[in-house]
Amino acid sequence: MRASGESGEPRQPIGGRARIQLPMKIAIVGTGISGLVAAHRLHPEHEIVVYEAADRLGGHTNTVRVNTGAESLAIDTGFIVFNDRNYPNFEALLEQIGVASQPSHMGFSVSDGKGVFEYSGTPRGIFARRSHLVSPSFLGMLREWRRFNREARALIGINGTAPSLGHWLEQRGFSQRFIERLIVPQASAVWSADPEQMWSFPASFMAEFFENHGMFSLRDRPAWRTVAGGSASYVEAISAPWRERVRLSAPVRRIERHADGVRIEADGCESEEFDEVVIATHSDQALALLGDPSQAEREILGAIPYQPNEAVLHTDASLMPRRRAAWASWNFHLAEGPSRGSTVTYWMNKLQNLDAERQYFVTLNRGEEIDPAKTIRRIEYSHPMFTAAGVAAQARHHEISGFDRTHYCGAYWGWGFHEDGVVSAIRACARITPGASPVLPPSRDVSELTGAIGPESSDTPEALAA
């Protein structure tokens, strides 16, 4: 298939023999996991220049160094965990660059912040509030979890025709309690998505992710891990061989494609000509950079918007469930009033096995409730908002990537997680350097997706309701 420009002019695909010239001069825009992997794979054969808007490498891989006098800790505020099943290409990368990982503890809780309603997925945590033991509505909610796990499997593989998550749950007669206090919190936490957005979230997209990550089953769940010493350790290792090719604090403002090359204009840099460009920013950022986006680029990149999420690294334990038995690695907060996005607190000591005197947390979208005296860092992130139109757009990646000297990668081409970023970069680079080592199985095609995160294995509500 050939993409066409606004003028209707056919776009020139790369990949035919005539176009491959080694070495080439290639610009890489963005240094999240996707841009890092692109640079890692392309630098041995090509002349690369890596542009990064921020003053550091890593994008969502963002480890904050906390020095208190008593302790010096490396705490992850963005990318934290991966697992031994769904991240084969990321694991292979860590091995290749000699970066170690360590076991993590995954678990999930839901609380209202007042102690009136709270539970976590452990045997102690599920009935942390003793009255849940005799609450018909709470026990009914747990039974519905079992029914959900059985019935939602039917959604797998019917992306185009599946209803939204909200409609499907309503059609199947799931209770408001189950929707608002169990399944929406879980999905909202996994994708850092606004609970209200879950109404239009593609149901099959979620079902495939749950199936892939063993979240429908009590047994056979993946084991979760973190990067030893904080995730920034891998950023340092992967970039060491091409560090001098990086331009930090150099946001690209415009990408101009023309017959003989690609011109990149970036703040603080001379405008420069390249043979090819790999765009590893978010989809909305990518579209905004293009001087002459084709109709296909407008449609595809425009179909996967991002939403902002504020993350705060802090030590304020008042954002955790009231009862310590209900604390988990991931703690979803049931917000009152208008939705403020996904409200989750990650318990970093538990996730990263921190050897620390204090408890450290990263909270999304509840910044105003955190004691300023206990606040360490505030960071703005943004996450892809997946819809049926976005999932359909992902399947059209081949219509725009590899055309007009332009290659797209980013976690948004998959489920939005680290493995997706790696896989997307490997695929983009394969168009530039055919014959490079391929994506490792069991990763699936970008139109099929790969990704992360679920609750603890043997202790889900389903087990306890059985």
Ligand X SMILES: Cc1cc2nc3c(=O)[nH]c(=O)nc-3n(C[C@H](O)[C@H](O)[C@H](O)COP(=O)(O)OP(=O)(O)OC[C@H]3O[C@@H](n4cnc5c(N)ncnc54)[C@H](O)[C@@H]3O)c2cc1C
To the nearest whole angstrom, how small is the minimum distance from the Cβ of residue 324 to ligand X? 24
Binding ligand X by CB under 6 A: which of 3, 24, 52, 186?
52
Size of residue set near ligand X by CB under 6 A: 35
| Segment lying near ligand X (by CB under 6 A), choices 58-66, 102-110, 215-223, 325-333 | 58-66
Q: Which is nearer to ligand X, 113 or 251 (CB)?
A: 251
To the nearest whole angstrom, how small is the minimum distance from the Cβ of residue 399 to ligand X? 20
To the nearest whole angstrom, how small is the minimum distance from the Cβ of residue 284 to ligand X? 10
DSSP 64-81: EEEE-SS-EEEEESS--E
Answer yes or no whether residue 33 interacts with ligand X by CB under 6 A: yes
Compute the distance between CA of residue 374 and CA of residue 113 in angstroms, rounded to an integer.
18
To the nearest whole angstrom, how small is the minimum distance from the Cβ of residue 164 to ligand X? 22
Buried b / exposed e along 208-239 (16+ C-beta atoms within 10 A):
bbbbbbbbbeeeebbebbbbbbbbbbbbbbbb
Binding ligand X by CB under 6 A: which of 29, 264, 320, 432?
29
Within 13 Å of residue 70, how many CA atoms lie on the same side as its CB? 4
Q: How far is CA 238 from CA 195, 416, 423, in A?
A: 36, 21, 16
To the nearest whole angstrom, how small is the minimum distance from the Cβ of residue 61 to ligand X? 6
Report the site for ligand X in 173-212 (rule: CB under 6 A).
none
Count the Cβ atoms, other than its own, within 10 Å of residue 435: 6
DSSP classification of residue 367:
G
Binding ligand X by CB under 6 A: which of 23, 54, 140, 353?
54
Contact assessment for residue 101 and residue 351, using Cβ atoms and an 8 Å cutoff: no
Give all strands of the β-sheet with 224-227 in edge-to-edge order: 81-83, 224-227, 101-103
Q: Which is nearer to ligand X, 274 or 417 (CB)?
A: 417
Contact assessment for residue 335 and residue 194, using Cβ atoms and an 8 Å cutoff: no
Count the Cβ atoms, other than its own, within 10 Å of residue 331: 27
To the nearest whole angstrom, how small is the minimum distance from the Cβ of residue 305 to ligand X? 14
Those residues whose C-beta lies under 8 Å from the C-beta of residue 64, and which sit 6 or more positions away, are 74, 75, 76, 77, 313, 376, 377
Q: Interhelix angle for 232-239 vs 88-97, to 10°? A: 60
Q: Which is nearer to ligand X, 165 or 422 (CB)?
A: 422
| Segment lying near ligand X (by CB under 6 A), choices 10-18, 47-55, 176-184, 387-395 | 47-55
Site string for ligand X, 311-340 (x = CB under 6 A): x-----------------------------
Report the site for ligand X in 72-91 (rule: CB under 6 A).
78-82
Cis peptide before 434 (omega within 30 of 0): no
Site string for ligand X, 247-286 (x = CB under 6 A): ----xx---------------------------xx---x-
Q: Characterize the bridge pairing of strands 101-103 and 272-274.
A: unpaired
* Residue corresponding to tokens 């008593």: 70
Binding ligand X by CB under 6 A: which of 26, 27, 34, 242?
34
To the nearest whole angstrom, how small is the minimum distance from the Cβ of residue 374 to ligand X? 19
DSSP classification of residue 175:
-
Q: Which is nearer to ligand X, 145 or 413 (CB)?
A: 413
To the nearest whole angstrom, how small is the minimum distance from the Cβ of residue 315 to ligand X? 18
Extract the runs of DSSP E, i.e. beta strands, from 267-400.
272-274, 276-279, 306-314, 330-333, 344-347, 361-364, 375-384
Q: Which is nearer to ligand X, 60 or 431 (CB)?
A: 60
To the nearest whole angstrom, how small is the minimum distance from the Cβ of residue 337 to ligand X? 23
Answer yes or no whether residue 352 interacts with ligand X by CB under 6 A: no
Q: Which is nearer to ligand X, 29 or 169 (CB)?
A: 29
| Segment lying near ligand X (by CB under 6 A), choices 93-101, 167-175, 269-277, 408-416 | 408-416
Report the site for ligand X in 445-464 (rule: CB under 6 A).
452
Q: What is the phi/psi pair of residue 212, to 5°? A: -60, -30
Answer yes or no whether residue 345 interacts with ligand X by CB under 6 A: no
The binding site for ligand X (CB under 6 A) comprises: 29-35, 51-54, 59-61, 78-82, 251-252, 280-281, 285, 289, 311, 381, 383, 410-411, 416-418, 421, 452
